[in-house]
Amino acid sequence: MAKIALGCEPVVGSLTPSKKREYRLTNRLQEGKRPLYAVVFNFIDSRYFNVFATVGGNRVTVYQCLDEGVIAVLQSYVDEDKDESFYTVSWACNIDGAPFVVAGGINGIMRVINASNEEIHKSFVGHGDSINEIRTQPLKPSLVISASKDESVRLWNVHTGICILIFAGAGGHRNEVLSVDFHPSDIYRIASCGMDNTVKIWSMKEFWTYVEKSFTWTDCPSKFPTKYVQFPVFIASVHSNYVDCNRWLGDFMLSKSVDNEIVLWEPKMKEQSPGEGTADILQKYPVPECDIWFIKFSCDFNYNAAAIGNREGKIYVWELQSSPPVLIARSLVFLWFIFFCCGRNSYYINALCSHAFIH
**Domain definitions of the chain by residue range:** 3-358
In this model, does residue 338 exceed pLDDT 50? no
98 bridge partner residues:
none
In angstroms, what CA-CA distances link 194 with 202, 242, 339? 14, 6, 17
Highest mean pLDDT among 98-112, 271-285, 303-317: 98-112
In this model, does residue 322 exceed pLDDT 80? yes
Adjacency order of strands within the sheet including 99-105: 86-93, 99-105, 109-114, 119-125
pLDDT > 70 fraction of the chain, expressed in percent and rounded: 90
In this model, does residue 336 exceed pLDDT 50? no
User: Strand 71-78 relative to strand 59-65: parallel, antiparallel, unpaired?
Assistant: antiparallel
Q: Can you give the pLDDT at residue 356? A: 52
In angstroms, what CA-CA distances link 33 with 58, 76, 355? 12, 16, 7
| pLDDT greater at residue 226 or residue 49 | 226
In this model, does residue 287 exceed pLDDT 50? yes
Q: Can you give the pLDDT at residue 337? A: 45
315 bridge partner residues:
309, 331
In this model, does residue 204 exceed pLDDT 50? yes
Say which CATH superfamily domain 3-358 falls into. Answer: YVTN repeat-like/Quinoprotein amine dehydrogenase (2.130.10.10)
Query: What value does the CA radius of gyration of the chain take, rounded to a whole number of Å?
Result: 19
Tens digits of per-residue pLDDT, 57-74? 999 999 998 988 889 999
Calpha distance 316→141 (Å, rounded):
29
In this model, does residue 340 exceed pLDDT 60? no
Min mean pLDDT across 85-99, 207-221, 245-259, 325-339 is at 325-339
Tens digits of per-residue pLDDT, 119-166? 999 999 999 999 999 999 999 999 999 999 999 999 999 999 999 999
Q: Can you give the pLDDT at residue 54? A: 94
